[in-house]
Structure 1
Amino acid sequence: MRGIIPTALLAFITYIIFTGSAKPFDLATGVVVAIGVGLLVGKYLVQSDAKALNPVRWLWLGIYFIWYMLVAEVKAHLDVMIRTITGSYTPGIVKVPIDVKTDYAKTLVANSITNTPGTVVVDLDDEYMYVNWINVTTEEPEKAKKEICEDFEKYAKKIFE
């Protein structure tokens, strides 16, 4: 049963949000899909029910989502637009240390970087990420980390560690 309930709950919520409907048919379909997803992959996705159901982690996830969409994405889009218009950029791949330990936290950080315009994670190991960056301002790993992923790691630690 480990992981089935949290996975099914998340699948149901996601289904309802994306369908945008609370009609009985859609709710019933959502329950069936959620139970199926929970049974098929729940035991692989969730390491501990206690962690997954911790409301503080869910709160931090909500805060992170809002911050990411309203702050990180907007800043990155504006930066890329300005660089595209002015032609002022110096692309390159930089080595960035990663301080989060769990696979979930590493995935959140790497996906956040990749989904943010101007940066793409091209490789990831236990200690470093290699990031293709639209405007390399430093090749020093610690300074690059501060500019690229420090905020993402802060939230990833609160959510997954």
Structure 2
Amino acid sequence: MKALNCLVVFILVFTIYIVFSGSISIYDVLTGIVVGIVIGSLFSTFTVKNPGKVFNPVRWFWLIKYAIYYFFIAEVKAHLDVMYRILHPKTPVKPAVVKVPYDLATDYAITAVANSITNTPGTVVIDIDTDNKVYYVHWIYAKTLKPVEAQREISLVFEKHVRKIFD
């Protein structure tokens, strides 16, 4: 089990290293392998709870589908909305901090949704209350202050996708 955990972290670290280095020279590949082995050995017990999930092709399908949705639909719509608010002569903003409940089981899923909300223009997660299962989100144009309605507007679509990947 430890070897499988280490392999999962190694693959992730190696892939990220190669993508960010932008090179597949012998030096970069060997450096990526060494870095992947070291980080995999040191941190695999903390980061991987169920390595079998990582190799599940259905989860990879949902991850790819979510990435396409997030980068090409959610992000574009949010950027256009913020640009409209910036360029509009009256600057239509109604900022508020709203309580957004979530229904996710794993720390990875909770973090992925929080990052998706934060990286989407117009919203920032400023706190996560795991005891009450809510995010506190600063919203540039608060359409509602009711938690369930805010969840539907801000995070529900992210939760739907992320749950299929991590839970």
TM range, smaller chain: over 0.9
Q: How does 1:7-156 map to 2 (within 5 A)?
A: 7-86=9-88, 87-126=91-130, 127-156=133-162
Supply the distance in 2 between the matched residues of 1:58 and 1:38 (Cα, whole angstroms).
21
Q: Deviation at 1:98?
A: 0.3
Aligned partner letter, 2:122: G
Deviation at 1:8, TM superposition (A): 0.7
Match of 1:159 in 2: 165
Q: For residue 73 of structure 1, report the CA deviation from its aligned partner.
A: 1.0
Segments of structure 2 that go 5 or more residues without pairing to the other structure are none
Q: Pick one of 3, 6, 20 that aligns with 1:4.
A: 6
Listed one character per residue, the Cα deviations across residues 52-89 of structure 1 (whole Å, up to 9, x for unaligned) are 22222122212212221111111111111111111011
What amino acid maps onto 1:98 in structure 2?
A: Y
Superposition CA RMSD, Å? 1.1
Post-superposition Cα deviations, 1:6-50, rounded to whole Å, max 9, x if no partner, equal 111011111111112111111111111111111111110110111
- Take 1:68 and 1:155, find their aligned partners in 2: how far apart are those partners? 10
Deviations 1:84-139 (A, max 9, x none): 11101100011111011111100000011011111011111231111100000111
Counterpart residue type for residue 50 of structure 1: G
Identity of paired residues, percent?
Answer: 49
CA contact (8 A) 1:3 1:44 kept: no
CA distance in 1, matches of 2:8, 2:20: 18
SS of corresponding position for 2:23: coil
One-letter amino acid matched to 1:70: F
Equivalent residues of 1:46, 1:52 under 8 A apart: no
Q: How many positions carry a matched residue from both structures?
A: 161
Taking structure 2 as the reference length, the TM-score comes to 0.92
